[in-house]
Structure 1
Amino acid sequence: MRKHYLVYLVSIAAFFGPFVQTFYTPLLPEVAELFRTSSTAVSLTISVYPIIFAFMQLIYGPLIDKYGRRKILLLGFLFYLLATLGVSLSDHIEMLIVFRILQAVGGSVGSVAALTVIGDLFEGNRRVRAMGIYQMLVALGPGLGPVFGGYVGERFGFHPLLWVMLAISTLYWLVIYISLPETGMNKVAGERFAIRQFSDVLAHRSGQSLILLGIMQYTVFYILIILLPSIATDAYRLSPTETGVLYLPVSICLIIGSIVCGPVQVYIEIRRMLIATAVLNGVSVLLLAMLSPVSLTWLVVCISFFGFSLGLSLPLQTALLSSELSRMRATATGVYNFFRYQGMTIGPVLGAYFYPFGYSSIFLILFIIYALVIVIISSRVTPA
């Protein structure tokens, strides 16, 4: 019971990262008016966040391996609290942008720390189940952020919303301080960090494969996210509210896949299941290319299948990475997160650039690339 409590505790730290990235997106017009600035400048406070968030994965990994999970999580989250205070006190757009950058610096600690703690606490299938809980909460973050921010912000305003976030975050930090023990200091504490630790991860056969798969999946995921409003509007003439509802099947099915992954993995060796779920996810991309233009019903079925297969795959990746690179678990997690989060940047850029050529063509090209990725990882991640 204690271990499962800790899984939820640290997974909430990872939940905060994507939640904070998106929580005031429904208020962007109000923020632009409040700070007397352009919508472009306000959008920068959102778009700068994932760039810093991804980069900090490389910093926190070695720090967590060297100094311990609890200490770095508490320090990183405390930094996030101070940055959130700065965001709350911001009275001009430049100040808001700076503190949003600092918010990303502190908030990004949760992704690495949570995966590392879970890797310390569990082995085998129990680790896959715990990783499923982590992925479920992380998947909830970007979806619940705008819902919470829109509800509170519409009733009380932008700055009161920030103070509410600061209060919730402070309470959570206190819970971590009281409840979280150190889980991994005996592993590598005291070792000096060297750049070669990054290259060791990149040179590892499974590490290479998991990073390649993570980049591919996140790129496709964020291309889908950026294209969905255009598909809904151009092909099916949906309203903004109806378009927003389209995101629900993706998120819900991703969560279901994350939950189902653990029980299913009892019966299938983890490497075989990793390859099988990657194939399923690749097939879902092909179905998007073939069936999403046919009807709105098929579009919903395709995006639901994509979300479910992605949810099945992600816990396996983090569990296998934690097992194969256990001695530098946090560093490996940081490198893996850094590269797969590049898809958060690559996806929207590619989606916006190639949309004029037709979204079916985009998904077909993505499927071909995905098929090549699956062939590569199949040859490198050998089932035990």
Structure 2
Amino acid sequence: MSLTRRRLRLALILGSLSGFGPLTIDMYLPALPGMADDLRTSPSLVQLTLTVFVVGLAVGQVIVGPLSDAWGRRRPLLTGITLYLAGSLWCALAPTVEWLIAGRIVQSLGAAAGIVLARAIVRDLFEGTAMTRFFSTLMVVNGVAPILAPVLGGFLLTVTTWRAVFLVLAAIGLTLLVAVLFTLPESHHARSHPRGTLRAFRTLVTDPHYMRYVLAAALMFAAVFAYISGSSFVLQEAYGLTAQQFSLVFGLNGLGIVLLGQVNGMLVGRVAGERALLRIGLTVATLASAGVLACAVLDLPLPFLLAGLFLVVSMLGLVLANATSLALDGHGSAAGSASSLQGLLQFLVGGLAASAMTLPGTVTAVAMGTTMLACSAAALFVAVRGRGSAG
């Protein structure tokens, strides 16, 4: 097999694994407003199925990442995908919302392995600008998840129930399990002792270079996660979009992630460096978030709101590739731990942002816009504040 084909296969597998989070969240978003009626429960409990999934992603990454530094990447990855498959089937068969929440916890712990180890494997195999470009390549596959997932979810809702969504997720998990088992070799052979985990985390937390870019990525993700968790209610209930129309809008925004990821891959190392591209992405995201909030406050027509949302979400393709590469570049020997701490902060901050947005009891366009602006502006501040020492 040629080198190009091997890299393409690697990008497809790792991109799919890193897309576990958005895929598993986005596919069932169109069903959220109707799930409460079907399960005879409150909307807040249905919303909790999203929150526990995000928390599980954060906790699972902290567990799996250090273990992969000690045991290698394959065993934790195969175990995680198996858990994801089991959790998806559990959700599909859940008779009550409590059982659904439990299934989402199992599913999230499995998904965490795919997300954290995809980043760690990239760090095992690449360095410097080559690593940034490969992360940009992953945005193609990773970005397909938010494009296709809500569209597929919306289509399934027209012909069957929300339970079919989880059956499809189980089938995807099975496919990836087979792919990893037979085509993805071990990438990490310099093992460490599990007791070195605390030392590794202490080194990471006290590294200002690492923390700067991890926090910038986490805050930008939180801005987009506010959109992910709130847009189904805002666009369908406040603006009157159908589940299918919402799915198309959501998919178009996902396309923006793909496009900006590829633009980043073409520009980095040729036109500008990772730091400059990161700051450009965060600046655009902050300005666009301010536009989203202005549209909500002034009750401007829906197209203006959608344009602002598209710009904010698209910048994720630019920001994550550069911030992740900059954060992991100096931590090759502990890539699993470094990737896991990034994942913990990313989903923890995202979950807190989503929870804060729902404090009034109802998700509104103003609350969503305010959260997006606060998070993106904070991400820009963190990235720019460190420019003197970062170069």
TM-score by length of 1: 0.85
Cross-structure match for 2:220: 217
Structure 1 residue 229: Cα displacement: 6.3
Q: Partners of 2:136 and 2:178 in 1: how far apart?
A: 25
Identity %: 22
Answer yes or no: is 1:137 the counterpart of 2:141. yes
Check the 8 A contact 1:285/1:366 in 2, yes or no.
Answer: no
Which letter does structure 2 place at the counterpart of 1:331?
Answer: S
Check the 8 A contact 2:85/2:174 in 1, yes or no.
Answer: yes
Check the 8 A contact 2:256/2:314 in 1, yes or no.
Answer: yes
Counterparts in 2 of 1:270 and 1:231: CA distance versus 1, 3 Å:
same
Q: Which moved more, 1:54-63 or 1:370-379?
A: 370-379
Structure 1 residue 352: Cα displacement: 4.1
Given the alignment, which residue of 383, 387, 390 partners 1:378?
A: 387
Q: Partners of 1:363 and 1:24 in 2: how far apart?
A: 22
Cross-structure match for 1:175: 179
Q: Which moved more, 1:163-172 or 1:291-300?
A: 291-300
CA RMSD of aligned residues (A): 3.2
C-alpha distance after superposition, 1:45-66 (max 9, x if no partner): 3331111111211111101111
Given the alignment, which residue of 188, 191, 195 partners 1:192?
A: 195
Cross-structure match for 2:170: 166
Structure 2 residue matching 1:185: 3-state secondary structure: coil
Check the 8 A contact 2:91/2:100 in 1, yes or no.
Answer: yes
Counterparts in 2 of 1:29 and 1:291: CA distance versus 1, 3 Å:
closer
Counterparts in 2 of 1:359 and 1:97: CA distance versus 1, 3 Å:
closer
Structure 1 residue 358: Cα displacement: 7.5
Given the alignment, which residue of 57, 60, 63 partners 1:59?
A: 63
Q: Which moved more, 1:36-45 or 1:333-342?
A: 36-45
Which letter does structure 2 place at the counterpart of 1:209?
Answer: R
Cross-structure match for 2:283: 279
Structure 1 residue 257: Cα displacement: 0.6
Q: Partners of 1:251 and 1:171 in 2: how far apart?
A: 23
Q: Partners of 1:230 and 1:43 in 2: how far apart?
A: 11
Structure 1 residue 265: Cα displacement: 0.3
Given the alignment, which residue of 308, 318, 324 partners 2:314?
A: 308
Check the 8 A contact 2:220/2:375 in 1, yes or no.
Answer: no
C-alpha distance after superposition, 1:96-146 (max 9, x if no partner): 322221111112111111111112222333322211132343344345333
Cross-structure match for 2:333: 327
Answer yes or no: is 1:11 the counterpart of 2:20. no
Q: Partners of 1:4 and 1:305 in 2: how far apart?
A: 28
Q: How many residues align?
A: 380
Cross-structure match for 1:102: 106
Counterparts in 2 of 1:238 and 1:23: CA distance versus 1, 3 Å:
closer
Given the alignment, which residue of 85, 107, 124 partners 1:120?
A: 124
Q: Partners of 1:217 and 1:333 in 2: how far apart?
A: 17
Answer yes or no: is 1:257 the counterpart of 2:260. yes
Q: Partners of 1:32 and 1:368 in 2: how far apart?
A: 34
Structure 1 residue 77: Cα displacement: 0.9
C-alpha distance after superposition, 1:270-300 (max 9, x if no partner): 2333333333333333444567756544434
C-alpha distance after superposition, 1:319-369 (max 9, x if no partner): 222212111111111101111212322222333458697877766656654
Counterparts in 2 of 1:146 and 1:356: CA distance versus 1, 3 Å:
closer
Q: Partners of 1:19 and 1:259 in 2: how far apart?
A: 20
Which letter does structure 2 place at the counterpart of 1:133?
Answer: T
Check the 8 A contact 1:26/1:146 in 2, yes or no.
Answer: yes
Given the alignment, which residue of 74, 78, 81 partners 1:74?
A: 78
Structure 2, unmatched stretches of 5+, are none
Structure 1 residue 31: Cα displacement: 4.8
Structure 1, unmatched stretches of 5+, are none
TM-score by length of 2: 0.83
Structure 2 residue matching 1:181: 3-state secondary structure: coil
Counterparts in 2 of 1:362 and 1:333: CA distance versus 1, 3 Å:
closer
